[in-house]
Amino acid sequence: GGSAMAAVRDVEIDPEGTFKYILVRLQRPGGGEQRDIVRGTKAAEFHNHIFEKVNPEMEKLGYECKCLGGGKIEHSSKDKKIRVFGLSTGYGKADHSVTVEILKKEYTDYEITWSDDKK
């Protein structure tokens, strides 16, 4: 049961730069287990580009995906800092505090902050 969901990484973001991100809820059809994941990349011009890539991958694993909102991530691996801010026009603002908690699981030695600033 739980192995497929365990195989899904909590966080997949670019190692450097400022880019769009989305918070996605994965759920087994009909309820049951669910978890939230963070995905972000400079390759995405719009937030929905990220979702359009994640959704089919997760559907193959048997999950329903729901985008909980988006924003931007500023990632400096040199300084070990991540800043979460902004919002998605299409999906609305993700709960950045939730995003930060997920990021902390992956980037344990980072300083991770968030704000509602647009820039």
Q: Is 47 a catalytic residue?
A: yes
Residue 20 annotated as lining a ligand binding site: yes
Dist CA 78 CA 101 (whole Å): 21
Given 47, 49, 75, 96, the catalytic residue? 47
> How far lies 32's CA from each of 1, 7, 74, 101, 114, in Å?
11, 17, 33, 22, 30
Here the tokens at position 32 are 């049951």
Within 13 A of 100's CA, how many CA atoms are on the CB side?
Answer: 15
For residues 47 and 22, is the Cβ–Cβ distance under 8 A? yes
What residues are annotated to the active site? 47
Q: Which residues carry a binding-site annotation?
A: 20
Q: Which residues carry a binding-site annotation for substrate?
A: 20
